[in-house]
């Protein structure tokens, strides 16, 4: 049996945490053998710029045209087909689940978000893929969390994304959401910019945010899975060894794969249960107040929705040009 130091950091990490690949470029992940994969509008937009994925892009356009729709409805249909085609290809590589994102422009519309999720699930099921293998990604606004609560009751599992604060995490847990994606790197970015300081290891505010959520969930018995996301370096990843899941870009997967230093489990349910975190009874007023009091959470949520919306619009422009 190899000792820990004979194993790559990636293989060691997999003994503590489910490793997820964060990319639309599914050809780049096969060698890392992740359990799950996540996509978002920015990653899909980047992928369709590559020659390797032009076939999928053309197939999505062809399928969209076959619906007989026009205008915005046609663009929406082609984007949905694109998400599903990429998701299907990724599911041919991984054994677990793929996360597919709802249009960020619906982030403040509960019913429209829920309806779009149902449409995406129906398209996957038409491809012979069961809903158990899909996580619908929804922005962690109050409206998004309400949509996810509704969808979970229908057997549609959700991944609540653009999550930057304890308020969002607690509301998701109370709503019975399947999984959340706290954005470590974007929290780190905000603090570096606002303080002018660099943060490493356990001092990293993004790492601390996920540790706090982990402690809260494990202490109070919430079953919602925690998947740290948006990493800037492997140090952030290794500080969260023990989290339920971690979604990692191909570049950082490669770095972990080619490094053999020892990896320690940093997060444990036992330590979480002994933490001093206090229970919050979350309702809409409490959620909005707590988020309002968190300048970083408020700013990064709004910015994240804007950035994802911009990339959807770029994708729409590319489709219009192809049409």
**Residues recognised as catalytic:** 137
Q: What is the DSSP string of 100-130?
A: EEPPGGGTT-HHHHHHHHHHHHHHHHHTT--
DSSP state of 68: T
Q: Residue 290, by phi and psi: left (phi above 0), alpha (psi -120 to 50) or beta? A: alpha
Cα–Cα distance for residue pair 90/39, rounded to 1 Å: 10
Cα–Cα distance for residue pair 12/189, rounded to 1 Å: 27
DSSP state of 183: B
Longest alpha-carbon distance in the chain: 60
- Each as own residue / partner, the long-range contacts of residues 67-76 (CB below 8 Å, 24 or more positions apart, any chain) are 74/323, 75/316, 75/319, 75/320, 76/103
Contact by Cβ (8 Å): 244, 253? no
For the record, the structure tokens of 219 come out as 């202490």
How far apart, in Å, are the Cα atoms of 194 and each of 95, 164, 188, 295, 297? Answer: 41, 16, 10, 11, 13
How far apart, in Å, are the Cα atoms of 83 and each of 12, 39, 47, 51, 128? Answer: 32, 9, 11, 17, 15
Cα–Cα distance for residue pair 137/20, rounded to 1 Å: 15
Cα–Cα distance for residue pair 87/223, rounded to 1 Å: 25
Residues 6+ apart with CB under 8 A from 252: 231, 233, 234, 237
């Amino acid at each position: 049996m190899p000792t820990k130091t004979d194993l790559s950091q990636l293989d060691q990490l997999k003994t503590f945490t489910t490793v997820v690949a964060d990319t639309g470029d599914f050809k780049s992940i096969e060698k890392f053998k992740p359990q799950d994969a996540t996509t978002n509008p920015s990653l899909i937009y980047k992928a369709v710029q590559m020659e390797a994925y032009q076939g999928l892009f053309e197939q999505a356009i062809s399928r969209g045209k076959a619906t007989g729709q026009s205008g915005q409805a046609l663009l929406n249909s082609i984007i949905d087909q694109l998400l599903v085609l990429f998701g299907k290809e990724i599911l041919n590589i991984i054994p677990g689940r793929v996360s597919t994102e709802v249009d960020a422009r619906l982030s403040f519309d509960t019913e429209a978000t829920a309806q779009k999720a149902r449409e995406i699930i129906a398209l996957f099921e038409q491809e012979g893929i069961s809903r158990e293998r899909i996580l619908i990604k929804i922005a962690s606004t109050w409206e998004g969390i309400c949509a996810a609560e509704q969808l979970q009751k229908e057997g549609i599992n959700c991944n609540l994304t653009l999550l930057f604060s304890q308020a969002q995490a607690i509301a998701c847990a109370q709503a019975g959401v399947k999984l959340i994606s706290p954005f470590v790197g974007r929290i780190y970015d905000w603090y570096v910019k606002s303080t002018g300081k660099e943060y490493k290891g356990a001092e990293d505010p993004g790492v601390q945010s996920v540790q706090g959520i982990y402690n809260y969930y494990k202490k109070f018995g919430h079953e919602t899975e925690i998947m740290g996301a948006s990493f800037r370096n492997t140090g952030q990843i290794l500080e969260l060894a023990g989290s339920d899941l971690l979604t990692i870009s191909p570049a950082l997967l490669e770095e972990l794969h080619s490094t053999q230093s020892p990896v320690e489990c940093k997060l444990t349910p036992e330590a979480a249960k002994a933490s001093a975190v206090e229970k919050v009874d979350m309702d809409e007023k409490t959620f909005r107040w707590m988020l309002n009091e968190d300048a970083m959470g408020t700013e990064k949520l709004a910015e994240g929705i804007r950035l994802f919306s911009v990339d959807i619009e770029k994708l729409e422009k590319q489709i219009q040009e192809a049409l």
